[in-house]
Amino acid sequence: MNKLPTLKRPGLPGWLILSGSVLLVLVCLFPFWWMVLSSVKTLRELYTVPPIWWPAAPTWENYRTVLFDSNIPRYFLNSIIISVGSTGLALVLAIFASYGFARFNFKGKPLLQSFVLVGQLLPTAAIIVPLFVTLRVLNLVNTYWGLILVYMIITLPLSVWMLTSYFKNIPVELEEAAIIDGASRLECLFRITLPLSLPGLASVMVYAFVTTWNEFIFALCFATDSSVKTLPIGLAEFSTEFNTDWGAVMAASVVMTLPIAILFLSMQRLFVGGLTAGATKG
Amino acid sequence: MASVTINNVRKSYGELEVLHGVSIDIADGEFVVLVGPSGCGKSTLLRMLAGLEDISGGEIAIGDRVVNGLQPKERDIAMVFQSYALYPHMTVEKNMGFSLKLARAPKEETRDRVAKVAAMLNLSDYLDRYPRQLSGGQRQRVAMGRAMVRNPEVFLFDEPLSNLDAKLRVQMRSEIKQNHHRLKTTTVYVTHDQIEAMTMADKIVVMHGGIVEQVGSPLDLYDNPANLFVAGFIGSPAMNVIGGKIRGGGFVGEDGTRIALPFAATDFEERNVTLGIRPEHLLLDAKGHAAEIITVEPTGAETQVLLRLAGHEIVGVFRDRILHKPGETLHVSLIPERIQLFDGKSGQRIDFREAA
């Protein structure tokens, strides 16, 4: 049999791309692997040199400590309330602001749009004191609302920008058709634009949620009472002046990582675009 | 059904005026085509009629209601967009029933009306599909169905066929025409394609540069164009034009070629004029003008020949098979009765038959 003539594939050879990708994935996943592994090791195994790659007797003891002998469950609940609250609030406000920026022309729009980002430019250290003063005046220190509002301020600017560009990419004819069909502006937004913006909404949601979930400095300053402390603070609490319970830190880290992982996996389908396929030609 | 009256309508974007006072009367049940080159304001006018653009001046009335200040949904119109603008997240049935749903019509009524229109448009088998699962022609039909379900006073079409391939366009053209025949709804149809205008319209409105150049029935526009623009725009290939003067009661081209006119146009002596003649009104005639052949394009049924006559390139369409080669000479004559004369300066048609 003659071998059919084939075109040479351009670029790097396949085995190089494959081994490169595998290496990259391994490097990225190693910390997670180490985290999960360490969370099931006994204290003695944790400090063994050279490190043990597979614990002789995996233990759930660290998880028991975290779940029953620490404040972590309470902090977990706090984190959920604060992250969900601020994400929801940011999403609602961002939807309306972005729709305005994307669909209407008004005086000072470019100025306002760039002004939205100014907040994002200020370093954390610069705004932390003014925010604290403001929260104290409003009696919001050590409350859920305090952190929810602060986190909303942090995530809103980028959310508005992300959604604005997403809305702009939805063909305006669709809304015109809806208007002709008798829809009001709000009906256009809720029945046409939003359903088609699910991938955009999902990205904004994940961005806002992850940002607030992982935030440390603001939580440290504005939530000093254990009734509102969040998970990152809880992790830090395992380190005391004299020692650090690394097993518990790792177990708590796993607990803290799970919601994010679940969120990403459940939203994965939405990140794949193509929702407007078939709407208009081309 | 309703008539539409457009009275001295203007549109400006800031300083820039794009419609300079347009007036059109559309009778109840009429199929009117707005045609013109891109940028002539035809789509803008349609969008003003729909209520998607503000009216800067003048008045638009549907029936006896002035609609200037009314929202689109209060105007009782339906529109078909060039891009179809189907809602991608809804099935065909939901797409077509969307307006009724917004109007809070009872569910059974919505389903019945959608089913009826779908049957009319051969879409009954596709009601559960999403727009992305349909072909171009089917999407086009859904877009029309969405408009028809509402049973509006006026249908507006904004270049609905320009995204379809040539064959489908011809088919959809006749479907739209048949639907109009059946429903007899007043229709305003925008296109840049003069063939669509000629084949579909009861009345054509030729627009150019924000004004109406001429309003009339297709054949009226073809036979008696009001000016050089309409003459050049309507008809394919376009009307041939030759610049020259009236001298001794006849036409003399810039290079001295004399062309006989059906009447002695003595009143217009020495006036600069442009002579227009349709390609099919050139005849092969051994005693006619000698013209140099530039190209020969046989299409089977007829032959298009590009000729140089009186210093101008003109196109002749002949039923005969022309076997000449480029560079050779062809003798042609112009049917005198079919010659049009236009003023050299303004481009307006000179009705020399009446004047003579």
pLDDT-above-90 percentage for chain A: 55
Q: Which of B225, B183, B168 is nearest to B35 (CA)?
A: B225
With CA atoms as reference, the chain B residue closest to A280 would be B83
What is the rounded CA–CA span in Å between residue B211 and residue B220? 19
Max CA-CA distance within chain A?
86
Can you give the CATH number for the domain in which A157 is found? 1.10.3720.10
CB contact under 8 A, B132 and A277: yes
Burial of A42 (0-12, 13-18, 19+ CB in 10 A): middle
Contact by Cβ (8 Å): B74, A198? no
Range A95-115 average pLDDT: 92
Q: Which of A60, A277, A248, A91 is nearest to B133 (CA)?
A: A277
> Is A211 a member of any domain?
yes
pLDDT attached to residue A148? 95
CB contact under 8 A, B88 and A180: no
pLDDT attached to residue A264? 86
Residue A69 has pLDDT above 90, yes or no: no
Interface probe for B, chosen from A180, A188, A191 (most Cβ of B below 10 Å), is A180
Per residue of chain B (356 residues), what is the pLDDT tens digit?
A: 689 999 999 999 988 999 999 999 999 999 999 999 988 999 999 999 999 999 999 999 999 899 999 999 899 999 999 888 999 999 999 999 999 999 999 999 999 999 999 998 889 999 999 999 998 889 999 999 999 998 899 999 999 988 888 888 898 899 899 989 998 999 999 999 999 999 999 999 999 999 999 999 999 999 999 999 999 999 888 999 999 988 887 888 888 888 888 777 667 788 889 999 999 999 998 888 989 999 999 988 899 999 998 888 999 999 988 888 898 999 999 998 889 989 888 889 987 665 44
ipTM: 0.84
Residue A28 has pLDDT above 90, yes or no: yes
> Is A40 a member of any domain?
no
Per CB-CB distance under 8 Å, the chain B contacts of A173 are 81, 83, 85
Band (A80; pLDDT cuts 50, 70, 90)? very high
> Is A128 a member of any domain?
yes
Band (A6; pLDDT cuts 50, 70, 90)? confident
Question: What is the number of other CB atoms lying within 10 angstroms of the CB of residue B54?
Answer: 11
What is the rounded CA–CA span in Å between residue B267 and residue B265? 6
The pair phi, psi for residue B337, each rounded to 5°, is: -65, -20
The answer to whether A233 faces chain B, any CB pair under 8 Å, is no
Band (A9; pLDDT cuts 50, 70, 90)? confident
Residue A181 has pLDDT above 60, yes or no: yes
pLDDT attached to residue B356? 44
Per DSSP, chain A holds a count of helices (H) and strands (E) of 14, 0
With CA atoms as reference, the chain B residue closest to A281 would be B83
The answer to whether B135 faces chain A, any CB pair under 8 Å, is no
> Is A167 a member of any domain?
yes
- Counting one residue from chain A and one from chain B, the pairs whose CB atoms sit within 8 A come to 80
Region of A52 on the Ramachandran plot (φ > 0 left; ψ -120 to 50 alpha; else beta):
beta
Residue A152 has pLDDT above 80, yes or no: yes
The answer to whether B181 faces chain A, any CB pair under 8 Å, is no
The answer to whether B72 faces chain A, any CB pair under 8 Å, is yes
Number of independent structural domains in chain A: 1
Helix (H, G, I), strand (E, B) or coil at B206: strand
Query: Both tokens of residue A34?
Result: 């180490």
For B269-289, the pLDDT digits (tens) are 888 899 999 999 999 988 889
CB contact under 8 A, A278 and B134: yes
pLDDT attached to residue A279? 61
The answer to whether A275 faces chain B, any CB pair under 8 Å, is yes
> Is A29 a member of any domain?
no
Distance from CA of B181 to the nearest CA of A (A): 23
With CA atoms as reference, the chain A residue closest to B78 would be A180
With CA atoms as reference, the chain A residue closest to B164 would be A281
Per CB-CB distance under 8 Å, the chain B contacts of A276 are 88
Q: Which of A174, A275, A282 sits opposite B85 (nearest CB)?
A: A174
Query: Both tokens of residue B7?
Result: 């009275």
Residue A231 has pLDDT above 80, yes or no: yes
pLDDT-above-70 percentage for chain A: 95
What is the rounded CA–CA span in Å between residue A182 and residue A178? 6
Query: Both tokens of residue A145?
Result: 């609302």
Distance from CA of A277 to the nearest CA of B (A): 6
Position with higher pLDDT, B59 vs A9: B59
Torsion over CA: B116, B119, B123, B124 (sign): positive
Per CB-CB distance under 8 Å, the chain B contacts of A193 are none
Band (A1; pLDDT cuts 50, 70, 90)? low
Q: Which of A179, A187, A277 sits opposite B72 (nearest CB)?
A: A179
Full set of structural domains in chain B with CATH: 4-232 (3.40.50.300), 237-355 (2.40.50.140)
With CA atoms as reference, the chain B residue closest to A181 would be B99
The answer to whether A171 faces chain B, any CB pair under 8 Å, is yes
The answer to whether B332 faces chain A, any CB pair under 8 Å, is no
What is the rounded CA–CA span in Å between residue B181 and residue B189? 15
The answer to whether B168 faces chain A, any CB pair under 8 Å, is no
Distance from CA of B131 to the nearest CA of A (A): 5
Contact by Cβ (8 Å): B159, B43? yes
What is the rounded CA–CA span in Å between residue A196 and residue A192? 6
pLDDT attached to residue B163? 84
Interface probe for B, chosen from A181, A184, A192, A280 (most Cβ of B below 10 Å), is A181
With CA atoms as reference, the chain A residue closest to B137 would be A281
Q: Which domain holds residue A242?
A: 64-270
Band (A282; pLDDT cuts 50, 70, 90)? very low
Interface probe for A, chosen from B83, B110, B161 (most Cβ of A below 10 Å), is B83
CB contact under 8 A, A278 and B73: no
> Is A108 a member of any domain?
yes
Per CB-CB distance under 8 Å, the chain B contacts of A279 are 83-88, 131
The answer to whether A201 faces chain B, any CB pair under 8 Å, is no
Query: Both tokens of residue B259?
Result: 């062309």
Residue A90 has pLDDT above 70, yes or no: yes
Residue A50 has pLDDT above 90, yes or no: no
